[in-house]
Structure 1
Amino acid sequence: MGTALLKIKVMPESPETNLEELQEKAKEILEKNSAKGIKFDIEPIAFGLKSLIIGFGVDESQELEPIENALKSMENISSSEVIDMRRAIE
């Protein structure tokens, strides 16, 4: 099986939300779901609001819905969406 590379955009509820805490919680969730190569980027949106962009790889046969639902259920999250998904060439 191959590897699926994903990028998920997580929007916090407010500019005061601690993105470092969100990163730690997201990392725990992803590690529990066998994600590899986890990377975080912070993207400015507007008026001090920043989104958290999470990049990672998973086995392409793995179900992604549990990961998405777990990320969406984190505290202080307004929304979460997959913004990129592609298959890695090995």
Structure 2
Amino acid sequence: MGRVFMKLRVMPKGVEVDLEQLKEKVSHAKPDEVEITDFGIQPIAFGLKALIVVVVMPDTEGIGDTLIESIQAIDDVESVEIEVQELV
């Protein structure tokens, strides 16, 4: 079984959301099998910034969906988009 690299763009609900706190919430919300390898911040527009989350996980059916659903369930999150997904 292989591993999957995934880069996610997490959009906060507004400019007032503290991205450092959001990082902590994402770290706690992820499934145990998922390893977060990096966080980044991407300016969007008008002061809004997205949180970029880079993860590696087993190539197991449904684990990516579970990860996205758990992040979307966080109160401060507006949306989650997959920017890159590939086998490693």
Whether the TM-score (by the shorter chain) exceeds 0.5 is: yes
Q: Spell out, residue by residue over 1:30-77, the C-alpha distance to the aligned partner (whole angstroms, 9 max, x if none).
A: 2x3311243100000011000000001000124221111111110111
Q: Secondary structure at the match of 1:40?
A: strand
Calculate percent identity across the aligned residue pairs.
29
Q: Quote the residue 1:72 is aligned against.
A: 72
Q: Quote the residue 1:44 is aligned against.
A: 43
- Evaluate the alpha carbon distance shift between residue 72 and residue 37 of structure 1 in structure 2; reply closer, same or farther with a 3 A threshold: closer
Q: Distance in 2 between matches of 1:2 and 1:25?
A: 27
Q: Quote the residue 1:17 is aligned against.
A: 17
Aligned length: 87
Q: Quote the residue 2:55 is aligned against.
A: 56
Instruction: Please list every run of at least 4 consecutive aligned residues from structure 1 whose deviation after the TM superposition is greater than 6 angstroms.
Output: none
TM-score normalised according to structure 2 size: 0.91
Q: Distance in 2 between matches of 1:62 and 1:38?
A: 21
TM-score normalised according to structure 1 size: 0.89
Q: Secondary structure at the match of 1:52?
A: strand
Unaligned runs of 5+ residues in structure 1 are none
Unaligned runs of 5+ residues in structure 2 are none
Q: Distance in 2 between matches of 1:72 and 1:23?
A: 13
RMSD of equivalent CA atoms: 1.2
